[in-house]
Amino acid sequence: MVGTAGWSAIAAAALWTPTASAQADTSADVSQEEPEVVVTGYAASIARALANKRSADVVSDGIAAEDIGKYPEQNIAESLQRVTGVQITRTLGEGQFLSVRGLDPKFTNTLYNGRQMPSASGTRAFDFQVLTSNFASRVDVYKSPSADLIESGLAATVNMQSIDPLSVGSRKIVVSAEGNYDQQLDGGVDPHIAALYSDTFLDGKLGISVALDWNDRAFNSQNFSTDGVVPDGTYAGPGTQYRVFGIHQNDLVGSNRRRSATGAIQFRPTDNFEIKLDTIYSRLSQKYDMSQGNNWYTGAGALGPSPTSTSTVDENGVQTAWRGTNVFAWVQANRYSFLQETHSTALSTKLTLGNWAISGEASYGRAKEEATQTFVSWATRSPGASLYYDANVDPGGPLSFGFYNGFNPLDPSSYYFFGVQGPYKEPTTDEIWNGKIDVARNFERGWLRAVKFGVNIQERTLATTPNNMTNSAVGLPADMTPYLTVNRNPNYFASYDGPAQFPRTFLTVDLDKLFADYPLDTLVALNPPQQALTRTTSITEKSQSGYVRFDFASGNDLFKANLGVRAVRTEQASSGYIPAPGATLVYGLFGGPNSLSYSAADLLSQKHDYTYVLPSLNARYQIGNDLLVRFAAARVMQRPDMNLLGQASSPNASSGPPPAGTIWRGTLTRGNPNLKPYLSDQLDLSFEWYFGNQNMLGAAVFLKEVKNLVLTNYSDQNATVAMHPSGEIRDITLSVAQPVNAETTTIKGLEIGYQHALTFLPGFLSKTGIRANWTHIWYGSVVLNQGSPAVPLTGISSDTYNLGAYYDDGTFSVHAGYNYRSRWVQDPLSFFGDGIFTEGYGQLDLAANYRITPNISLNAWVINVTESALRQTNRYGITRLYELSGRRFTLGVRANF
């Protein structure tokens, strides 16, 4: 039987697989090594992560598994939030995207075993929900590039490394079973089962590993939102007053089902030759019902003008409190179904001939997302509601609102059935073909230690085909009232303890009853989906890159550096449909949120090619045994998000046309095939003091001069709309959004990281430790158009920090982590010009482990202990979003053999 120390050694071997970008420092002076201290569990993972950071040849951080396939968190993104400068963005209470050094998630390049992972989201940000943490042995965050590292990653490059079966060695079997519970639900416990098998054959020459993960998670997300503010058309002056456009309450109940697998076959017939096939597959099925009620459009004028009875107006002219009549609403419920499949497979080989090392790899990856959203809607009869709202009761929280003049929002007779509509099985695919060859020549003496060079060829294609059911009531009963119900979730906003007063129940749609009588297939047969051509796009990127890198070191290895250059050529081809000459806008031809469309479209293809040379330098100097100084300089290129490059032209109206004489407002989103890639000239300087294998104090400063930032530009456009099927012509004012390149801006930052095992303390306190890190960023504004005012950068938080404490005695361990990200700009303008700003967000998580025997342990997690709410506001402080995801509890058992 393998003891505790043995498992640590096995895990350490499995966790360290050198890559081209982070080679082990095997030449260090053995006299500088500290006496071996055997640690296990959480403390061992900290020690291994620090060893990886210390030996890296770039500015980096990372995490390492406690044991084979074991992290103290269930999601790689949630594990990485411990790293200095790393923050995560959560969706429905689960970590989804990574932000490094306060920058937007799209600036983080994500690799799996050194290769690009596809993502059907259309952005460069990788969705970590599709991967379980059980599949990674270590994850490195490279904050400075080297020439051999694939281009991209203006903030950082994250490389997830899977388990290497030949490094693990003899047979290992790990099985875990857990139960997940969401506190905001009244439901039961959902299962999470994982298994990992690794073995070697043929006297250690053949290795096989397989891992499976089955994870179900039910969730309940509750939110209050508004659409920002618009000019009040009923105000006669002087000046302009602004009214909240729309108020919404949503109760979202659903589940995620993730089925994942990874496997590797590794064959090393001789010491100098190896061939490996590895693959990863994940299937994420997400289904939920969104009960939407109290969707009141105080500023839309859908029933005609909504006159003001009383109002409170602030110094900006915003009606922070308002009372008026004739307010329109949708009563709606939506059934969502998302299926995302991701897989990536690579065949690689390595050959060593004396001082020469040659490696090659061919890989293919594909991600596909298929989305169906069925909207079932009722609309307000005229006259509308008498309604009031007050944003002053709880600034940044939900608005207080209610009704007067005897209006009852729960009375079905106040509404008429509008129809069923929505996108149906809309596919988005992302395919990546990649081939690369790397060659290295090592030298045994002298300043020049190695020369490395290689080539990389990649082709990536993103395609989107929107299909929509137009709004229709064909085939449905004239009286649909029996399908209306009152949403009575006893937990709705139960964790909110603020002063705002608002309804906790609302009228919505009984989707279970509706779909029992009219399954989706029946609705589709009654109302066949149509393709929305002007949102159908295909973008192909072909890139060819080559690099050369020189590694240097002093005779005593105290100084090490690598200097290199990477040349990259990108050939981009985008195709999509644009409005044909003479095409007009039509309302009601397609359904769902895209109720506006064009009468005719033409296919347009366009090419955009560019070539860049990207130099890089990484140097480190060791002072004494414990202090490292690092310096890095590089030019980084990152391509824009692919979903912005298509020729798409997507109009939208949030409500139907108001009575004549009232302004009808809509939006129009356009793509931009001419976007230039981001370019960043950047410098890093860091100091790292290692005073023990679990202890480190570090500080870093960095500077990034970023060119070609992509931001959204907004402008107003007046247009006419033909009503379908009557042909009546109406006027509409569209807020047009299009991505554009902005001017150069400079981003400067400071990082401080500290972690310390408090072994000097007496008794049980000697088993404790602390972790803390902080990142501060200075950044300015950019100008989108000549003569326009500057706008702040999106996605950047001025301050981010992590605080953690742990206890680990080898048998029992517990750790707490608090993660905070300060306010950032979601959109500096937004469609109505008032912007969207995400307020500072902090979350406390807990994890514990009890080792019953050397092979069996109990695990427990509590996610979002503080029940933190995600908050967004506009530039006037009016709430745009207040979202509660609640606490999540997990209890499980793990066994290894």
Write the pLDDT tens digit of every residue in 844-873: 999 899 999 989 999 999 989 999 999 999
Q: How confident is the model at residue 409 (pLDDT cuts 50, 70, 90)?
A: very high
| pLDDT at residue 759 greater than cutoff 80 | yes
| Cβ proximity of 109 and 98 under 8 Å | no
| Cβ proximity of 473 and 494 under 8 Å | no
Give the architecture (CATH level 2) of 4-896: Beta Barrel (2.40)
Instruction: Using a pLDDT cut of 90, give the percent of the chain over it.
Output: 54
Q: How confident is the model at residue 784 (pLDDT cuts 50, 70, 90)?
A: low
Would you state the structure tokens that stand for residue 406, as one six-digit string?
Answer: 């005897």
Q: How many CB atoms lie within 10 A of CB 214?
A: 16
Q: If you average pLDDT over every residue of the chain, what do you get?
A: 87
Buried residues in 226-243 as b, exposed as e (16+ CB within 10 A): bbbbbbbbbbeeeeebbb
Question: For the chain, give me the number of helices (H) and strands (E)?
Answer: 6, 51
Which residue reads 């499949």 in tokens? 341
The DSSP bridge partners found for residue 427 are: 370
Mean pLDDT within 773-792: 76
Q: What is the pLDDT of residues 253-293, one digit of tens each?
A: 999 898 999 999 999 999 999 999 999 999 999 999 999 87
Start-to-end CA span in the chain (Å): 8
More confident residue, 707 or 724: 707
| pLDDT at residue 166 greater than cutoff 80 | yes
Mean pLDDT within 502-509: 93
Q: Could you give the CA distance from residue 238 to residue 242 in angstroms, rounded to a whole number?
A: 13
Q: Could you give the CA distance from residue 84 to residue 774 in angstroms, rounded to a whole number?
A: 7
Q: Could you give the CA distance from residue 155 to residue 105 in angstroms, rounded to a whole number?
A: 8
Q: How many CB atoms lie within 10 A of CB 768?
A: 19
Please report, for the chain, the start and end positions of each structural domain, with discontinuous segments joined by +.
4-896
Would you state the structure tokens that stand for residue 214, as one six-digit string?
Answer: 């089955």
Q: Could you give the CA distance from residue 70 to residue 45 in angstroms, rounded to a whole number?
A: 10
Q: Is 455 exposed, middle or buried (0-12, 13-18, 19+ CB in 10 A)?
A: middle
Element holding 521 (H helix, E strand): helix 520-526
Mean pLDDT within 241-256: 93
Q: How confident is the model at residue 652 (pLDDT cuts 50, 70, 90)?
A: confident
In the DSSP assignment, the letter for residue 639 is P
| Cβ proximity of 88 and 73 under 8 Å | no
Question: Residue 614's pLDDT is what?
Answer: 97
Which amino acid is located at 562 in the chain? N
Q: Could you give the CA distance from residue 832 to residue 228 in angstroms, rounded to a whole number?
A: 7
| pLDDT at residue 584 greater than cutoff 90 | no
More confident residue, 70 or 753: 753
| pLDDT at residue 578 greater than cutoff 80 | yes
| pLDDT at residue 222 greater than cutoff 60 | yes
Helices 41-55 and 4-15 cross at an angle (nearest 10°) of: 30
Among 499, 532, 503, smallest CA distance to 408 is for 503
Would you state the structure tokens that stand for residue 497, as one six-digit string?
Answer: 């303890």
Q: CB-based contacts of 568: which residues, under 8 Å, 6+ apart?
A: 151, 543, 544, 545, 611, 612, 613, 614, 637
| pLDDT at residue 122 greater than cutoff 90 | no
| pLDDT at residue 788 greater than cutoff 80 | no
| Cβ proximity of 68 and 163 under 8 Å | yes
The DSSP bridge partners found for residue 768 are: 807
- Of the listed ranges 522-536, 762-776, 778-792, the least confidently predicted one is 778-792
Residue 365, sorted as left (phi over 0), alpha (psi -120 to 50) or beta, turns out to be beta
Question: Residue 249's pLDDT is what?
Answer: 94
- Of the listed ranges 153-167, 336-350, 626-640, the least confidently predicted one is 153-167
Q: What is the pLDDT of residues 4-51, one digit of tens each?
A: 333 333 333 333 333 333 333 433 333 334 434 445 567 778 888 888
Which residue reads 């950032």 in tokens? 824
The alpha helices in 275-365, defined as continuous H runs, are none
Q: Could you give the CA distance from residue 550 to residue 315 in angstroms, rounded to a whole number?
A: 61
SS3 of 722-761? EECCCCCEEEEEEEEEEEEECCCEEEEEEEEEEEEECCCC
| Cβ proximity of 827 and 784 under 8 Å | no
Question: Residue 785's pLDDT is what?
Answer: 59
Q: Could you give the CA distance from residue 310 to residue 323 in angstroms, rounded to a whole number?
A: 5
Q: CB-based contacts of 716: which residues, under 8 Å, 6+ apart?
A: 733, 734, 735, 736
| pLDDT at residue 758 greater than cutoff 60 | yes
In the DSSP assignment, the letter for residue 35 is P
Question: Residue 17's pLDDT is what?
Answer: 36
Q: Could you give the CA distance from residue 528 to residue 416 in angstroms, rounded to a whole number?
A: 23
Would you state the structure tokens that stand for residue 730, as one six-digit string?
Answer: 């109406």
Mean pLDDT within 106-133: 84
Strands 791-792 and 665-670: unpaired
Which residue reads 């693959």 in tokens? 279
Q: How confident is the model at residue 590 (pLDDT cuts 50, 70, 90)?
A: low
Q: What is the pLDDT of residues 536-551, one digit of tens each?
A: 889 999 999 999 999 9
The DSSP bridge partners found for residue 807 are: 768, 814
Among 759, 810, 769, smallest CA distance to 40 is for 810
| SS3 assignment, position 834 | coil
DSSP 360-428: EEEEEEEEEEEEEEEEEEEEEPSS-EEEEEESSSSTTSPPEEEE-TT--TT-GGGEEEEEEEEE-SEEE
Q: How many CB atoms lie within 10 A of CB 404?
A: 12
Q: What is the pLDDT of residues 362-399, one digit of tens each?
A: 999 999 999 999 999 999 998 999 999 999 999 999 99
Q: Provide the whole-model pTM.
A: 0.84
| pLDDT at residue 3 greater than cutoff 80 | no
Residue 476, sorted as left (phi over 0), alpha (psi -120 to 50) or beta, turns out to be beta
Question: Residue 348's pLDDT is what?
Answer: 97
Which amino acid is located at 390 in the chain? D
Question: Residue 67's pLDDT is what?
Answer: 62
Q: Could you give the CA distance from residue 118 to residue 365 in angstroms, rounded to a whole number?
A: 6
Element holding 49 (H helix, E strand): helix 41-55
The DSSP bridge partners found for residue 880 are: none
| pLDDT at residue 71 greater than cutoff 70 | no
Question: Residue 193's pLDDT is what?
Answer: 92
Which amino acid is located at 538 in the chain? S
Question: Residue 23's pLDDT is what?
Answer: 39
Strand ranges (DSSP E) for 6-69? Answer: 60-64
Question: Residue 693's pLDDT is what?
Answer: 85
Q: What is the pLDDT of residues 597-646, one digit of tens each?
A: 888 888 888 899 999 999 999 999 999 889 999 999 999 999 998 888 88
Strands 585-587 and 596-598: antiparallel
Q: What is the pLDDT of residues 472-497, one digit of tens each?
A: 888 999 899 999 999 888 889 988 99
Q: Could you give the CA distance from residue 608 to residue 541 in angstroms, rounded to a whole number?
A: 10
